[in-house]
Amino acid sequence: MSHAVPQLVPGAGVPLQARSMRAAVYRGKGHVVVEHVPVPDIGPGEVLLRVAACGICGTDIKKIQHGFIPPPQILGHEIAGTVVEVGSGVTRWKPGDRAVSFHHIPCGQCFYCERKLFSQCPTYKKVGVTAGFDPNGGGFAEYVRIMPWIAERGMVAIPPDVSFEEATFVEPVNTCLKAIEKARVATGETVVVIGQGPIGLLLMLLARDAGATVVTSDPLPARRERSLRYGAAAACDPAEGALLEAAKTHSHGRGADIVFLAVPNPELVRESLTLARPGGRVLLFAQNDPLMKIEFPAAAVGVEEKEILGSYSASVDLQEQSARLVFERRLPLRELISHRLPLDQMEHALSLAARPAGDSLKVVILP
């Protein structure tokens, strides 16, 4: 298979393929090491992106902490950077272009795509961005190789006035927007969001944008304060046990129309069902652990007709809408970033993201 003629990184002086790069390599359960690895080669239809910023996602944390994936791998999928090389046949991108890259894109033609269940598409399940080893995003590295179907349909140009840090939110905003649509949030409804970390805050902001009244819960005072500042009708400390009362107060005594569970704690599923009114909906956003088991009263579903919903990953048909929300600064995304850290501080960055305290929120890696 022929490869594109290597182009140079401005000022680098040697072809990219002759160079090594730094990457945070997952080497086993709870173990990530910053190493030197080869800059990925690209082939026809592919793009090489110099990573400028990559957000840490809760899914990255779970994979690392629990050892859900075989090592070695390079994680990180909330990626923004600059195109430095393109393979033969690439017409949409050229060196110097600034772009966000998704890491999953569906085929658009299969049984699941026809029903807009894009994340169940076999092509979607294949990761199309890598920094080496088995593809798994690769954003915790200096360069990533973007495969043809992602380069063609999964990259979004970043406007000149938008920072790379802001642009990393396009993918997580998309996942949250998908959850809002999946839960059918409507004007005038009462929504409860359990957890006010970066994802919980995005769910709260997007539910408000959809016209709902939102009640939130989080054990950290700084997060509750921020939730109120961004428009939550009430923000409760779960230790005080006042969340059900708050939900009823803002729903004429019925309970929440929708509950988003943005905390990976199976014990909270039962509470979420209690918070929901008869016929209400509970969306499990953080329950993507393959080993997690969940128990709940069957009557909550079988008699009270409450729905339990799931929402996984991003949706290709929300790509433009999520990008507009970020690029037009309709959400206070820059304020959600509490820490910007280099690759050399990857261990500290993962610790901050896994065990939040004080005013810590979104952690972004700047390779």
One-letter-per-residue 3-state SS of 190-249 = EEEEECCCHHHHHHHHHHHHCCCEEEEECCCHHHHHHHHHCCCCEEECHHHCCHHHHHHH
Does residue 14 carry a pLDDT above 60? no
Apex 330 CA angle, 188 and 162, nearest 5: 160
Distances (CA, A) of 139 to 62, 133, 295: 16, 13, 36
Q: What is the pLDDT of residue 290?
A: 82
Q: What is the pLDDT of residue 310?
A: 96
**0.75 cut: is pTM over it?**
yes
Q: What is the pLDDT of residue 132?
A: 95
Does residue 9 carry a pLDDT above 80? no
Whether omega for the bond prior to residue 367 falls within 30 degrees of 0, making it cis, is no
Q: What is the pLDDT of residue 288?
A: 83
Share of the chain above pLDDT 70, in %: 95
Residue ranges covered by each domain of the chain = 18-173+315-365, 184-310
Tokens 């003629």 map to which residue? 5
Q: What is the pLDDT of residue 164?
A: 98
Tokens 């820490």 map to which residue? 339
Q: What is the pLDDT of residue 314?
A: 96
Q: What is the pLDDT of residue 116?
A: 95
Least confident of 122-131, 168-177, 287-296: 287-296
Find the mean pLDDT for residues 299-308. 98
Share of the chain above pLDDT 90, in %: 90
Does residue 2 carry a pLDDT above 70? no
In whole angstroms, give the CA distance from residue 207 to residue 64: 30
- 197-245 pLDDT, tens digit each: 999 999 999 999 999 999 999 999 999 999 999 999 999 999 999 999 9
Mean pLDDT across the chain: 94
Find the mean pLDDT for residues 1-25. 58
The CATH number for 184-310, chosen from 3.40.50.720, 3.20.20.150, 3.40.1390.10, 3.30.830.10, is 3.40.50.720
**CATH code at 18-173+315-365:** 3.90.180.10
- In this prediction, residue 11 has a pLDDT band, given cuts at 50, 70 and 90, of very low
Q: What is the pLDDT of residue 17?
A: 55
Is residue 280 a contact partner of residue 300, using CB atoms and an 8 Å limit? no
Find the mean pLDDT for residues 338-356. 95
Does residue 299 carry a pLDDT above 80? yes
Q: Which two tokens stand for residue 183?
A: 């839960």
